Amino acid sequence: MSPHRLRVDREKSKVKDEDVIKTVEEVFDSFTNYHIYRLKNTMKAFRELRGTISAGKEARVYWAKGWKGEDVAVKIFLTSSAEFRKSIKNYISGDPRFPSLPSKFRELVYLWARKEYSNLSEMAKAGVSVPQPIAVSGNVLVMRFLGEGGLRAPLLVEAARELEAEDLERMLEMLIKDVESMVCRARLVHGDLSEYNVMIWEGRPWIIDVAQAVSLEHPKSRELLERDVSNVFSFFSHWLDVSEREESLRRSLEGCLESR
């Protein structure tokens, strides 16, 4: 199937009723409502909040409509997740862009949302295919929606089984270029790149979920980059011979790391 026509099964993409109930309980507190109101009415980032796209441990993503009728995504980071609380500092501590950390967890989550907005902005400027960020306030981030009619674009792990070998080749080549641009031009490392954090839309891969991305000066940047590269090539190796391209990318990235 053409990568331009890939769709996710609607039943599989639905969020269960119990997840929606949990979402309402965890997400829409008075602080979050304030930031949603601000983004909608003051910043004009979106006009109408619609259905849930995904419900994860760290955030909920909603389909929304912009003031010109365009589709946008509204990502709300949870401020009451214990697991989120444990992991969030690992990707901020040591990043020179954030020399001090807030003592209150809610403020830390707000910083995390701003970090994703900043990472998306820097990656987009560097030519990396990421959802264009629109606005951020508190724990709420608004960005371009990848998909149509409220149905999100498929993840790479979902789309791969429908792609021909030549399409997979193209997807890998484009993803390699994006990783090079991310590291060599944006000077960032994704930190959690895999087939679960790449969407296929408009005939190409799009890298998503970049809140945890760190600068090259972060003490764990090399370790995280090694994991990213290994994840990508391990996935594509199920269908393609990737050994030469993996070695070529590693040499290219090493040159960028040494020149920092």
Q: What is the pLDDT of residues 162-195, one digit of tens each?
A: 999 999 999 999 999 999 999 999 999 999 999 9
Q: Which of 71, 95, 209, 228 is catalytic?
A: 209
Burial class (CB in 10 A: 0-12, 13-18, 19+), 25: exposed
192 given a catalytic annotation: yes
Task: Determine the straight-line distance between the first and last CA of the chain, rounded to whole angstroms.
Answer: 42
Q: 11 Cβ partners below 8 Å, 6+ apart? A: none
Separation of alpha carbons 116 and 134, rounded Å: 12
Q: What is the pLDDT of residues 55-105, one digit of tens each?
A: 888 899 999 999 999 999 999 998 876 667 767 888 888 889 988 888 888
- One-letter amino acid identity for 102? P
Write down all domains in the chain, each with its CATH number in brackets. 10-148 (3.30.200.20), 153-258 (1.10.510.10)
- One-letter amino acid identity for 168? L
pLDDT of 161 over the 50 cut: yes
What pLDDT was estimated at residue 84?
A: 74
209 given a catalytic annotation: yes
Q: Is 208 helix (H, G, I), strand (E, B) or coil?
A: coil
Separation of alpha carbons 74 and 81, rounded Å: 18
Q: Which of 178, 192, 228, 241 is catalytic?
A: 192
DSSP state of 155: B
Q: What is the pLDDT of residues 189-211, one digit of tens each?
A: 999 999 999 999 999 999 999 99
How far, in Å, are 186, 215, 222, 250 from residue 260 at the CA level? 12, 11, 12, 16
- Over range 135-155, report the average pLDDT: 96
Separation of alpha carbons 50 and 136, rounded Å: 18
**Model confidence pTM above 0.85:** yes
By DSSP bridging, strand 147-148 and strand 188-189 are unpaired
